[in-house]
Structure 1
Amino acid sequence: MLLTQGMYARNIIFISFKRLNTGYVRNDKFRLLFEERASYGKIRGYHRRFSFWLQEQSLQVTRACTKQFEFILAQRVRRSIQIFHLYTRIWDEITLKRFIRSWTQRCTRNARHFLLSAAGVSVYNWNTERISDEEINRYRREIEEIERLRKSTIICPECNLRIKFDEKQPNVTYCESHGAPIIENEGWQPFMDRKDMLVWRKKEPNDLYTYKIYGSFPDVTAEDFLQVQIDIDYRKKWDTNACVVQLIESDPISVSCKDQSTDIIYWEIKWPVMFLNRDYVYQRRWVIDRENGLIILISKGTTHPDVPVKPGVYRVTTYWSYLVIKAHKDFDEPGIEIGLTYYDDPGINIASVTTWVAMNGLSDFIGRMRKAALDYYQYKISRKERQEKDAEEIEEDATTITRVATF
């Protein structure tokens, strides 16, 4: 349009000057001047038309750039989803959620504890709280002491047969003729007679009891029985009363040791519906004495800043136990004797309730523990197969991830 107006204006001027002074209009300088002006007008017109065209095309260019960006973003999201699905094949959903929840808890802990952990410094005073070697050595002859207790309390001195003080057990011959009385030895009284298991108890000043258990299991290995106690993942499978079992911290000194370890454990157990669940925070140290065929495991209640008291759960603060496992032959061959002495204060000082818990809980717990030890061999095999399968899947997934990342 502007170009057309310029052409009309030029023609009018030429006609006017032609009528006024034909010679001047034909002058070369004046003609060249008008031609230059006309050329400038053309260039200016082309510039305006290009600008107008560019404005019209800008919306389409913006849309094209947006589509390109969306395409690239979709490719990135799709790749991330593919990688996520690959990792969910490596870790199942529960493990992945547990990992995320654990990481979140770690990140939201107290800053002081986080910094100390990052620096490799424990907030637990192991130098003052660690279970000592003297305490471990104190129980090296526990099985012999229990044998003396058995002879002095439930064995008839006349015929050397067992005195009946509870239910009769199969394959056990009891004294029938002498009527030997049950004898108390240093406060220990016979309490339960079960298959391959005897239990004594001793009354404490607060009217609660300390219990001592002796078991003889010809079909269980010492190594498997130990693993039943210390393998936390396996504990969650066989101990149906355990709500939570968690490793809180390990003693830095024992981390690199093969035949001993010291750890802080958190343990929450179910109680009947009318009562609150009980939980424990305790230090556990175990030592393997291969020369004498012994395993000694000591647990004692403690406190740890990473495990505060939970609402709705009763924290048992007074707790200790001493477990001695004696192998008949080698640690990996069946045949063991065990001696377990333990005491805890569950916060209920009602004799009928504590007796009921002991009568029903002890035999059931020891029975499940023995069954778990028998099943641990199959658990080890299945765990090894699962680990090998997971390793193969991880290798395959790593290859796939590399290919996806390359693509």
Structure 2
Amino acid sequence: MARELTLQNLRVIMRHILRTSNTKGKEICIQKTAGRLGSECARALFGQNWSTVLKELSANCNHKFTVIAECFEKQCSFLVAQRLKRATQIMAFYNRLYGEKLIDQVGSSLLRRFHKKSLFCVLAATLFSWEENKIGDDVINRCVYDMVHIQELVQKTRSQVVDQSCEWEKIIDRPHLIVWRRPLEFNTSLFQYKVYGKFDDVPARAFFNTQVDVEFWKQWDKLSLDIRIIDKHENSGSEVVHWTLKFPYPMYSRDYLYVRRYTVDPTNKIMALYSRTVSHPICPVQDNIVRVTDYQSALVIKPYTDFDENGLEYVLTYYDDPQTTFPTVCYNWMATTGVPEFVDKLHKASKMMHERTQKGYLPEYYQNQNQSCHSTFTLNQTQYA
């Protein structure tokens, strides 16, 4: 019956199309024909109440889609909660297994990831206490006193009489270079070294600039992978330096994080530079580099006549723990060979610095050097007579 009704309706629609032959009314005819065809098809599928059936079907579909969306949301929330719970259990397990080691590793990883961010550097710098880590005037004074007593040590070394009371052992004795060593009090397997030398063809200021200017240091020291100043204290003149040094294969590279302070006394014609290791939150320990945690260096420079005239003598007292174990033969070889080679490189670099300054080169710290040129420590003229 429905099939016959549908065929009859189609015949009526076709007759209507054939009767409409004027071009002007074709669009209206097509619209009416399409509307009637749609209505007849819906009536054939759903009966006379086809509009009501379609509304009920649409409402039913909307309800089902809403239920499906709610179920999907609950399932996602459940999975996220399970993942978070699982991660918490894993963290608790490793925390019980390794204790604080895991926390330190995670913290170090975060520090390495964000230490280059300027905002993080500012926040980390606030955690560093300059009152505890700055280099005071008393330390600079003790450093300068090495120049006062060096001649006495040189006379004892080169005299024919053996002085058993002298704690320094001579390992190098050359006309312009003497090197001593003595065991450290807190670690007898390591040595503290004292180097005394003279240069007749280099001004004291050029030698001093070579030691202090980190940008120039990168150019002449080929073993330095990087050296930069990461923090400064304007009041005391102290600054924190990070220095990465390449070690021979297969050893890891070493890095030094130290606070230093340099000063110039024009009255007594003395230049001094003191450095010691320090910890700073901006530069955490890296996995592929060994941090040298014990390092101290004291350099004193005295010109023959003036800072800008050729001729100077210097005293360098230092020690460091390279965080490795070398045989005694290796230590002796490094002391007798490595120190003279480094002094030669430093001598050549100082001559290069002098040539550059004569052509107008100014070290990066030059303005700060002029501002802090007058030292805060005071020494009697008779001490250098």
Post-superposition shift, 1:151? Answer: 0.9
CA RMSD across the alignment: 2.7
Q: Distance in 2 between matches of 1:348 and 1:215?
A: 29
Aligned counterparts of 1:327 and 1:281: Cα–Cα separation in 2: 30
Aligned length: 253
**Mapping for residues 172-321 of structure 1, pairs under 5 Å:** 182-204=162-184, 205-254=187-236, 261-321=237-297
How far off is 1:360 after superposition?
2.4
2:233 & 2:191 partners in 1: Cα distance?
31
TM, length-normalised to structure 2 = 0.60
Residue 116 (1) aligns with residue 123 (2): yes
1:367 paired residue among 333, 344, 347: 344
Structure 1 residue matching 2:128: 3-state secondary structure = coil
1:148 aligns with 2:152: yes
**Counterpart contact for 1:149–1:185, Cα < 8 Å:** no
Distance 1:115 1:131 in 2: 22
User: What is the CA distance between 1:286 and its match in structure 2?
Assistant: 0.6
**Residue 152 of structure 1: CA displacement?**
1.2
Preserved contact between residue 121 and residue 282 of structure 2 (Cα < 8 Å) = no
Tell me if the contact between 2:202 and 2:354 (Cα under 8 Å) persists in the aligned partners.
no
Equivalents in 1 of 2:260, 2:116: separation in Å? 27
Cα distance in 2 for partners of 1:375, 1:278 equals 27
**Corresponding residue of 2:300:** 324
Q: Where in structure 1 are there 5+ consecutive unaligned residues?
A: 7-104, 157-179, 255-260, 388-407
**Corresponding position: 1:135 with 2:139:** yes
Cα shift readout 1:357-395 (whole Å, capped 9, x = no counterpart): 22222111111111111111222355649x9xxxxxxxx
SS in 1 for 2:307: coil
In 2, the alpha carbon distance for the partners of 1:128 and 1:383 equals 39
Superposition deviation, residue 239 in structure 1:
0.8
Equivalent position of 2:62 in the other structure: none
SS in structure 2 at match of 1:309: coil
Match of 1:343 among 312, 319, 329: 319
**CA spacing shift, 1:126–1:107, aligned 2, 3 Å:** closer
Are the aligned partners of 1:154 and 1:190 in contact in 2 as well (CA < 8 Å)?
Answer: no
**CA 195–235 in structure 1, closer or farther in 2 if over 3 Å, else same:** farther
- CA distance 1:115–1:147, change in 2 (3 Å): closer
Query: How does the TM-score come out when normalised to structure 1?
Result: 0.57
After superposing on structure 2, the runs of 4+ consecutive aligned residues of structure 1 that deviate more than 6 Å are none
Deviations 1:15-43 (A, max 9, x none): xxxxxxxxxxxxxxxxxxxxxxxxxxxxx
The offset of 1:110, in angstroms, is: 8.5
Q: In 2, Cα distance between the equivalents of 1:107 and 1:306?
A: 6
Amino acid aligned to 1:269: L
For residues 362 and 155 of structure 1, the distance between their equivalents in structure 2, rounded to whole angstroms, comes to 23
Identity between Structure 1 and Structure 2 (%)? 32
| Farther off after superposition, 367-376 or 135-144 | 135-144
Asked if 1 retains the 8 angstrom alpha-carbon contact of 2:247 and 2:253, the reply is: yes
- Runs of at least 5 residues in structure 2 that lack an aligned partner in the other structure: 1-22, 26-112, 365-385
Amino acid across the alignment from 1:238 = W
Q: Do the aligned partners of 1:300 and 1:319 also contact (CA within 8 Å) in 2?
A: yes
In structure 2, the residue corresponding to 1:211 is in which secondary structure?
Answer: strand
Contact 1:222 1:331 survives alignment (8 Å): yes
Q: Report the AA paired with residue 196 of structure 1.
A: H
Separation (CA, whole Å) in 2 of partners of 1:244 and 1:185: 42
Go from structure 1 to structure 2 and tell me whether the alpha carbon gap of 1:354 and 1:291 turns closer, same or farther (over 3 Å shift).
same
Deviation at 1:327, TM superposition (A): 1.4
Q: What amino acid maps onto 2:171 in structure 1?
A: F
Residue type of the alignment partner of 1:201: R
Instruction: Give the letter aligned to residue 220 of structure 1.
Output: V
